[in-house]
Amino acid sequence: MSKSTNKRSITKSNAGAKKPQQQIAPAPETSRPNRSSKQSRILAMLQSPTGATIAAIAKATGWQQHSVRGFLAGVVRKRLNLKLISKRVDDHRIYQIGNGVTPDPRKSKSRAA
C-alpha cells in the first residue's frame, strides 16, 4: 500500500467512531450570595450595631491591616458604593455601614462643558 492509501483507510475507520458526549456543567446560581465568603462576613460585621475595628476584621479574615483598609476603601466604598462611617471610641476606630448610599460627585453622569 502507498502512503495515501494507508491514510485514507485510517481516516475512514475513525470516521465511524462516536465521539464521547460532553457533559455540560450546570450554571452557577448567582442569586444567592455565598454566606461563608470573607466579603459577606465583613459586611455582616460592619452592619452590626457595634460596628467593627480593623483589628477585628483582620482577625476574622486572616488578612493584614493594610489589606482590610484597602478592602474598605476599594470594595465597600467604591465598588459597593456604601456609606462607611468611622468613629473614635476609647482609642479605637470603629467602622460601620451607614444608612443609605453616599453619592459620589466624581461619578456624575452629566459633565459641565
The model's pLDDT over 36-76, given as tens digits with 9 standing for 90+, comes to 899 999 999 999 999 999 999 999 999 999 999 999 999 99
Total number of domains constituting the chain: 1
CATH number of the domain encompassing residue 74 = 1.10.10.10
Q: How far apart are CA 108 and CA 61, in angstroms?
A: 34
Please count the residues of the chain.
113
The model's pLDDT over 80-97, given as tens digits with 9 standing for 90+, comes to 999 999 999 999 999 999
> Residue 53 in contact with residue 92, Cβ under 8 Å?
yes
Location of C-alpha cell 444608612: 99
Establish if 1 belongs to a structural domain: no
Q: Which structural domain, as residue segments, surrounds residue 65?
A: 37-100
Cell of 93: 476606630
